[in-house]
Structure 1
Amino acid sequence: MIELTGITKTFTGKQGPIHALKDVSLSVKQGEIYGVIGYSGAGKSTLIRCVNLLEAPDQGSVKVKDVELTALSPRKLREARSNIGMIFQGFNLLKTATVYDNIALPLKLTGLNKTVVKERVEKYLNIVGLNEKKNAYPSELSGGQKQRVAIARALSHEPEVLLSDEATSALDPDTTEAILDLLLKINKELGITILLITHEMNVIQRICDKVAVMENGEVIEEGKTKDIFTSPQHSTTKRFVNSLFSHDIPDEMLTNLNKTGHVATLSFFGESSGEPALALVSKKFDIFPNILSGSITRLKDESFGQLLVHLKGESSEIKNAVQFLKEQDVHVEGVKISGDNQRVS
């Protein structure tokens, strides 16, 4: 559905050139929710604006539904953009227009007749749950309601692709959850492909099928959300994943614990999160597991849990226990056996 290949973008700053994107490539399949995450300055906002050519890349290919957008004439590009909806962090609503008119006016500018415009506005206000607010003004709405209007406006053009530019970062946690549920509903019921950017890992965790991690204008890691969470490779990715799981154990305590065993991080995904793996380990092997911290969250449709545990016992028993845990689909990280310099993970 979306194919970006070798995207490069450089801006001219006061201190010299700013390389916002450096040979970035990614592929989003039809029906996916694909997330791009990165800290401020990573290049993710520039990247998403290149998808509909609000920012024209210096080099590279931008294809949506196999159409090369960079090769289109201005008229053809406008037509192609009608198939790409976009929602923004700042809502971008007309302050002096009602909710109804904020959605209707862009439709009228495309030449649709009044009957079709009315049908579209009512249909998509109903989808976002704001029919009763159609005569209200933006100043009378909450932040979450404003974002729902912006989503309805984007959907009213009936696109096949929806771009989300930090759409939840200005919202409180409860409202963010509601907007994420709405995006899931749109994806599932309307079949719309969604590409979103964010700096919040909980957004990726809640709704994304795949994720790309950006840093300094480059994609440093990408893959299925499940794989990124259970086995992050890059240090930045690990920071994002660890932000959801606070294992704040004092270094002195960890040092003392490692004298009598090994401290490990256990990651559980899907069905394995509900299995009594540690209880089975204590029965099968001569070790004593002690849970130091942990939590369970959701990755879209499945559960994901992480525990920080102290495995007390002999190295040979711990090795056998780790192997058993792997066979139970538990990802183990951080176990290092003294004397052989080999990690059991």
Structure 2
Amino acid sequence: MIKLTNVSKHFHTRTGIVRALTNVSLEVQKGEIFGVIGYSGAGKSTLIRCVNLLETPTSGTVEINGTDVTRLPKHELLAIRRKIGMIFQGFHLLKTATVYDNIAIPLRLMDVSQQEIDKRVGKYLRIVGLEDKHDAYPSQLSGGQKQRVAIARALAQEPELLLSDEATSALDPETTESILELLLTINQELGITILLITHEMNVIQKICDRVAVMEKGEVIEQGRTVDIFANARHSTTKRFVNGTYHRELPPSLLRELRENGPVVRLSFVGESTGKPVLAAVSRQFDVSPNILAGGIIQLKQEKIGSLVVHLQGEGEETKKAIAFLEQQGVYVEEMERGHV
């Protein structure tokens, strides 16, 4: 559906060149929800704006359904943009227009017939749950309702691809949850591919099939969401993942425990979740597992179990125990700092 190959974007400023993106490559498959996460300044917004060419890449290619859109003349690019919907953090609603008109005006500019406009506005207001807000003005709506209108406006163009630029970051947790559920419904029932950017790992956790992690304009890690949560490699990715568990060990306690064996985080996915592996460790090796913390997180389609365990024992025995755990399909990460 979307393929970015070695995309770079540089901005020339008074103080020099700002390298917003550097050789970014990723693919978004048709029908999936793909998330891009990173801290402020990572290049996420520039990346998503390069997909529909609101920003033109300095170098690299952007393909949509096999067509390199960076090489298209304006009239052909316009036709492709009409199949790409976009929703923003700030809603971008016209304050003096009703909900109906906020959705209808872009369709009028596309020369859609009035009969078809009425049909689409009604259909997509039903989908976002705002049938009764047809004649309301934005000032009469809550933040979540405004975002639902913005989503209905994007859907009314009947796009194949929906781009979400921090669409939930201005919303409270309960409203965020409802918007994420709506995006899931749109993806599953309408078959629309979604590419979203966010700085919130809970957004990735709840609805994304795959994820790319960005830092300083580069993609530092990407893969299936379940693999990233279970076995993050890069330190930045680990910070995002660890933040979903909200657990810390005091550094002094960690240092004390490690004098008698490693402290490890065990992640259980799939078949490994049903195995009594810690009981087996204590039977087969001269190691005493001590569970320090644990929890389960629900991803879009799978659950991941996580335990923080002190493997008390001598070096060779604990190494054998860790190797055994890995053979059983458990992801093992030795903890070196207090954040687990």
TM-score for both structures, normalised by structure 1: 0.92
- CA distance change for structure 1 residues 126 and 266 in 2, over 3 Å: closer, same or farther? same
Aligned-partner Cα distance in 2 for 1:205–1:335: 22
Q: Give, as a single letter, the amino acid of the residue that structure 1 aligns with 2:87.
A: I
Greater alpha carbon shift after TM alignment, 99-108 vs 320-329 = 320-329
- CA distance change for structure 1 residues 146 and 279 in 2, over 3 Å: closer, same or farther? farther
Instruction: Give yes or no for the alignment of 1:83 onto 2:83.
Output: yes
Aligned-partner Cα distance in 1 for 2:60–2:239: 30
TM-aligned CA deviation for residue 270 of structure 1: 3.5
Q: Give, as a single letter, the amino acid of the residue that structure 1 aligns with 2:41.
A: G
Instruction: Give yes or no for the alignment of 1:40 onto 2:40.
Output: yes
TM-aligned CA deviation for residue 109 of structure 1: 1.4
- CA distance change for structure 1 residues 55 and 335 in 2, over 3 Å: closer, same or farther? closer
1:204-241 deviations in Å (ceiling 9; x for gaps): 11111111111111111111112212222211111111
Instruction: Give yes or no for the alignment of 1:10 onto 2:13.
Output: no
Aligned-partner Cα distance in 2 for 1:284–1:183: 48
Q: Give, as a single letter, the amino acid of the residue that structure 1 aligns with 2:327.
A: E
Q: Which residue of 2 aligns with 1:50?
A: 50
Q: Which residue of 1 aligns with 2:228?
A: 228
Greater alpha carbon shift after TM alignment, 37-46 vs 272-281 = 272-281
5 Å-filtered alignment, 1:327-338, equals 327-334=327-334
The SS at the match of 1:35 is strand
5 Å-filtered alignment, 1:74-223, equals 74-223=74-223
TM-aligned CA deviation for residue 291 of structure 1: 1.6
Aligned-partner Cα distance in 2 for 1:128–1:335: 44
TM-aligned CA deviation for residue 268 of structure 1: 1.5
TM-aligned CA deviation for residue 39 of structure 1: 0.9
5+ unaligned residues in a row in structure 2: which ranges?
none
Instruction: Give yes or no for the alignment of 1:311 onto 2:311.
Output: yes
Greater alpha carbon shift after TM alignment, 256-265 vs 92-101 = 256-265
1:46-71 deviations in Å (ceiling 9; x for gaps): 01001101111122211111122122
TM-aligned CA deviation for residue 251 of structure 1: 1.7
Q: Is the 8 A contact 1:247 1:294 kept in 2?
A: no
Q: Is the 8 A contact 1:20 1:46 kept in 2?
A: yes
Q: Which residue of 2 aligns with 1:60?
A: 60
- CA distance change for structure 1 residues 13 and 188 in 2, over 3 Å: closer, same or farther? same
TM-aligned CA deviation for residue 127 of structure 1: 0.9
- Identity across the alignment (%): 62
Q: Which residue of 2 aligns with 1:343?
A: none
Q: Give, as a single letter, the amino acid of the residue that structure 2 aligns with 1:258.
A: R
- CA distance change for structure 1 residues 137 and 335 in 2, over 3 Å: closer, same or farther? closer
TM-aligned CA deviation for residue 274 of structure 1: 5.1
TM-aligned CA deviation for residue 275 of structure 1: 4.5
Instruction: Give yes or no for the alignment of 1:31 onto 2:15.
Output: no
Q: Is the 8 A contact 1:36 1:213 kept in 2?
A: yes
Aligned-partner Cα distance in 2 for 1:299–1:85: 25
5 Å-filtered alignment, 1:191-340, equals 191-273=191-273, 275-334=275-334
1:241-274 deviations in Å (ceiling 9; x for gaps): 1111233111221122122222111111235345
Instruction: Give the paired residue count.
Output: 336
TM-aligned CA deviation for residue 125 of structure 1: 0.9
Q: Give, as a single letter, the amino acid of the residue that structure 1 aligns with 2:26.
A: L
Greater alpha carbon shift after TM alignment, 125-134 vs 245-254 = 245-254
Q: Give, as a single letter, the amino acid of the residue that structure 1 aligns with 2:216.
A: N
Q: Give, as a single letter, the amino acid of the residue that structure 2 aligns with 1:200.
A: E
Q: Is the 8 A contact 2:263 2:334 kept in 1?
A: yes
Greater alpha carbon shift after TM alignment, 58-67 vs 306-315 = 306-315
The SS at the match of 1:50 is helix
The SS at the match of 2:229 is helix
Aligned-partner Cα distance in 2 for 1:183–1:131: 18
Q: Give, as a single letter, the amino acid of the residue that structure 2 aligns with 1:179.
A: I
The SS at the match of 2:262 is strand
Aligned-partner Cα distance in 1 for 2:106–2:247: 49
Aligned-partner Cα distance in 2 for 1:248–1:260: 19
Q: Is the 8 A contact 1:166 1:198 kept in 2?
A: yes
TM-aligned CA deviation for residue 160 of structure 1: 0.5
Aligned-partner Cα distance in 2 for 1:119–1:335: 57
1:72-113 deviations in Å (ceiling 9; x for gaps): 222221111010000000000111111111111111111111
The SS at the match of 1:261 is coil
Greater alpha carbon shift after TM alignment, 200-209 vs 320-329 = 320-329
The SS at the match of 2:108 is helix
Aligned-partner Cα distance in 2 for 1:328–1:185: 36
- CA distance change for structure 1 residues 285 and 335 in 2, over 3 Å: closer, same or farther? farther
